[in-house]
Structure 1
């Protein structure tokens, strides 16, 4: 099927922007750029600004980090609607989407461990990798009988539920999206979800992966504009495919530049990027943060 942006345009009305941090650490300058851009665009267009807490990974999410994130946003002067949406409160929404995909015959269960996948790929130097650099999943379990998989799930075995990418593309076609440049000029993008292979949709200990949760949340909240970092540009291919399969409207997308550290790499909480709280303690003002992220 040809590339498609059909059934993609959000309903007419006020534009809806969102900032969706994970409460597994403090915000840094990269987060500040994204939050401020969304806030500024919402204000400039007369739109709405939402905050969503992506706390679906309960092993890493902490209430104290959520409180600090919201405090930092208030300090920056970002006005957003309350209450915020928390992913941890919407498991049934993700389950319904997963069941719908399963009903289309597009979901299968994988019991392969990371070690088994690494061993398989290590013996094949030319094995393809996804846009994030991880080996494309080899498809273990794709053709296993559903009854056998169900028995293993009920026995409590660790597992992942994966999207059968080839079947999904055959059903929905190759998706595309509208990418807005910094000046608002739209450019049509043809997506390549096949490059990601059979992505994870959920795991035994997680009701939804990032890919599934983000499209369900954006659809539920009526998000019309997704403004996020360039590191998520390639993942939009998977999100557009899921939106088409689930009958969800496609937002306008804008993937902004990243804030880089002195080593030229994007800032990361896990690698100790200076937090906004640290900058605040050192006397920085919200205007200083704007200047540091290049917003003037």
Structure 2
């Protein structure tokens, strides 16, 4: 029987904050307490948002917190071949097509994005005539490639934390981008290609990516591979109810580290947020593992409060 495998996958677009840390720590503890393999991946296909050195910084910060992983880290941008091979397969099967439309052109015809979403729904009637044909994959300047979604198709996502969710990708996002105008694999394609080649059986991440699981399952089917088990965690939010970000102050782990906050305090706050201890108190990583119980994760989002900040920095 194959040993289950999960991955830590920071994106080097900025420093890790408390919300990221909670997800990575819970993922690490889930893997370590169940005897899974755990690997590191630096997801650095995000164009101009990528910051030099942020990947190494993220790994250094996670080590400071006490996390470890198996094998050498995989850096996406180090080899484009796996993604090109997947695009060749999609294009040859007639499942993806080249699109030259700009966001403005799509916006004039597409449905408005959902509240809080910046993605336009791409309708089937904007497809080029050759969509569905078997064509060689090639990128041209100013173009991108989209994966075709089937009208009326429902995709069921079984999440280990929140249960079963039903999605209809054609109406929720339409044909989605798999290769970008920057001549890079899009997030949906890159993570599926990597999870397949790394043998990932369990994906742990924030529940803001739950809808992405439906799209990724379509790609798994296209590649004739089984999708992983999904674990989508409730998010950490600020007092205003919005996802934790710069607007809520400096919640970077490096900020607390530089201020002399010990990792045991960070671990204690995160353990409290994960429902593992009854109050905020410093704990070691060994304490966290001993207390870990996936079933105790609170079902609702966590709010980072003034009291949390005061306790951390006092």
TM-score by structure 1 length? 0.81
After TM superposition, the structure 1 = structure 2 runs for residues 132-281 of structure 1, keeping only pairs within 5 Å, are 132-139=117-124, 142-145=127-130, 156-166=140-150, 174-181=154-161, 187-194=163-170, 195-268=172-245, 273-281=250-258
Q: 1:93 to 1:130 in 2, by over 3 A?
A: farther
**TM-score normalised to the size of structure 2?**
0.77
Give 1:174 deviation, angstroms. 4.2
- Matching residue of 1:129: 113
Tell me, what secondary structure is at the counterpart of 1:83? strand
> Which one scores higher on RCO, CA 8 angstroms, separation ≥ 6?
1
CA contact (8 A) 1:26 1:65 kept: yes
1:26–1:69: 8 Å Cα contact kept in structure 2?
A: yes
Deviation at 1:21, TM superposition (A): 0.9
| Offset of residue 48 of structure 1 | 1.2
2:46 pairs with one of 57, 60, 77: 57
Aligned length: 266
Alignment of 1:17 onto 2:6:
yes
Structure 1 counterpart SS, 2:121 = coil
Aligned equivalent of 1:32, options 21, 31, 51: 21
State the superposition RMSD in angstroms.
2.5
Kindly state the Cα deviation for residue 37 of structure 1 after the two structures are TM-superposed: 0.8
Q: Residues 200 and 228 of structure 2 are in contact (CA less than 8 Å); yes or no, is this contact kept in structure 1?
A: yes
Structure 2 gap ranges (5+):
278-314
Which sections of structure 1, spanning at least 5 residues, go unmatched? 1-11, 122-126
State the distance in 2 between where 1:115 and 1:159 align. 14
